[in-house]
Structure 1
């Protein structure tokens, strides 16, 4: 019976992988076709010069000829996408077989080369679907990372040129949790937040970033007759360390930070193996006070406070946060 079950499972796996490979191959051929069409249009349209009027006439002419035979996929607007696609990726070797045309259309909508390159590399590295990539763009992952690190470092990590080397490199602030469906103004408890995160664990790990794997929920710690329960425990394989996340639905206090520091100490002294790096603690809270964090924790602490939002930030909100962060950094430099 076990042998029969094993061979069925193996064959099912072979079929699934073959089908996935076939779908990827078809998608890539479609991407190459659109690239070649864009290249031909660009060559005819530009001829080394900007001739916008002729270009507009050419696209309309091609659309009128192609749509009756090949469908709406060759509308004037789509032909414009193909031309832009070639102009953005003029070398075919730069195209990634893992990405579909839907991925590329979203990338072409980005307003800077740095952002495009970042999301392209991250989508490939993390095997994001186009929907997952769109969600990361909508949550402004690139801009949020700029709050805590520099542009070159973000791109170097995205290109796999280097990996996070310090705990602060894996901590995002804020974390965007709009996928939970919780209302900012509604009344909910920490257990409700925790349950929602577990229900949407895949989305939460996508938001946390690279290298995270889930370990435990409500991990019991017994200390000399007293029991404590750690909300969420993860492991980050890039830093090779445990990551403990405590959830608070209020503005953090020094007691909250002290509690998390105790959990971090426990994992460092009891759970951590000799080859692993020190444990990281993240206090995920609705509102934080940077001054309380600064004076509660030692300077070399691996405990961090990160705010969470239950909605996607607007561009204006994020711009204000980046501006405020720049001012904070300048104040630190002047101290």
Structure 2
């Protein structure tokens, strides 16, 4: 009697899961090995040796003794990383089994403790790969969230200690879309931009962040003989609401905001269920005018946001300048 497909599928899943667990176990043991090596190096340096040059000598000596037998993983540079790993993460029991050595190398390079904790929490919660973690760090995800939130709430949401209740807590401005492969100097149609997002949907969902799932593209709505098409529709399970995206490859206008407001109203009245929250509309544009957004929309607006996109990874100086401008605007509003 032939085994049914369900049994075969279950056995395949068992094999696959066991292999994954074995890989994670081996990698975690390797991470622990590097931690213990870093601990011993650090303790030896601190063992009554006051001379700063002793640390340099010790690393060089260890490398000369270990590298010929154990390979490039014990070069001077790698041994210095193991020492730094221990200094940043001094408690072995606090190391996360979900994170591999490549991820810990990335995290060790982060000096800000709040920032490091944020990326640890998000990596564990979302099961980020090392490549995804590196991309989020390079795109200054943490700093971009700080443009509209405080450190405490950003970290609390990442750790699952707080559920976001405002769009600004999860929607980034700017949104970094370097993975689309579009050149900022080139002219392209909005349909090309939309297609690039669909082609790179997994990366776009990573940029959107926690709780997003894709619902529809070019969603057709019919209003008394007139047809309209919404560019992209998503759903966020954390905020329990639809999130509509309209793409504009030009500087936004008040007509764009009016169009998006109509789509949001439609979803609130026709698609939203009684237990769900109000629909959020995001105008993803090449350039925006904050004053135009402010005076076009009602003062109590909580549903429509404009987010500028950029097709390249931001530099540290750009993010710091944006944070400075944001803080200046906040202080001006207080005064």
- TM-score class, shorter-chain normalisation, is over 0.9
TM-superposed deviation, 1:331? 2.2
Of residues 95-104 and 145-154 in structure 1, the stretch that sits farther from structure 2 once superposed is 145-154
The match for 1:329 is 330
The match for 2:291 is 291
The match for 1:44 is 44
TM-superposed deviation, 1:313? 1.2
CA shift digits 1:147-170 (9 cap, x unpaired): 111112112222222121222212
Q: CA 1:49/1:113 → structure 2, altered by over 3 Å: closer, same or farther?
A: farther
The match for 2:99 is 99
Of residues 37-46 and 251-260 in structure 1, the stretch that sits farther from structure 2 once superposed is 37-46
The match for 1:56 is 56
The match for 2:255 is 255
What is the correspondence of 1:227-242 to structure 2 with a 5 Å cutoff?
227-242=227-242
The match for 1:71 is 71
CA shift digits 1:43-63 (9 cap, x unpaired): 111127654211111111111
2:115 is aligned with 1:124? no
Count of aligned pairs = 334
The match for 2:156 is 156
The match for 2:319 is 318
2:78 is aligned with 1:83? no
* TM-align CA RMSD: 1.6
- SS state of the match for residue 155, structure 2? helix
CA shift digits 1:12-42 (9 cap, x unpaired): 2222211111111111111111111111111
Name the TM-score, length of structure 2 as normaliser: 0.96
The match for 1:189 is 189
Q: Is the 8 A contact 1:272 1:278 kept in 2?
A: yes
- Distance (Å, rounded) in 2 between the aligned partners of 1:122 and 1:326: 25
Q: CA 1:50/1:283 → structure 2, altered by over 3 Å: closer, same or farther?
A: farther
Name the TM-score, length of structure 1 as normaliser: 0.96
Q: Is the 8 A contact 2:154 2:169 kept in 1?
A: no
- Distance (Å, rounded) in 2 between the aligned partners of 1:254 and 1:311: 27
- SS state of the match for residue 19, structure 2? helix
TM-superposed deviation, 1:3? 6.8
2:275 is aligned with 1:275? yes
The match for 1:304 is 305
TM-superposed deviation, 1:299? 2.2
The match for 1:147 is 147
Q: Which runs of 5+ in 2 are unaligned?
A: none
- Distance (Å, rounded) in 2 between the aligned partners of 1:179 and 1:204: 8
- Distance (Å, rounded) in 1 between the aligned partners of 2:75 and 2:197: 42
- Distance (Å, rounded) in 1 between the aligned partners of 2:260 and 2:49: 62
- SS state of the match for residue 148, structure 2? coil
- SS state of the match for residue 97, structure 2? coil
Of residues 158-167 and 237-246 in structure 1, the stretch that sits farther from structure 2 once superposed is 158-167
Q: Is the 8 A contact 1:46 1:55 kept in 2?
A: no
TM-superposed deviation, 1:316? 1.7
Q: Which runs of 5+ in 1 are unaligned?
A: none
- SS state of the match for residue 18, structure 1? helix
Q: Is the 8 A contact 1:245 1:282 kept in 2?
A: yes
The match for 1:18 is 18
- Distance (Å, rounded) in 1 between the aligned partners of 2:2 and 2:333: 64
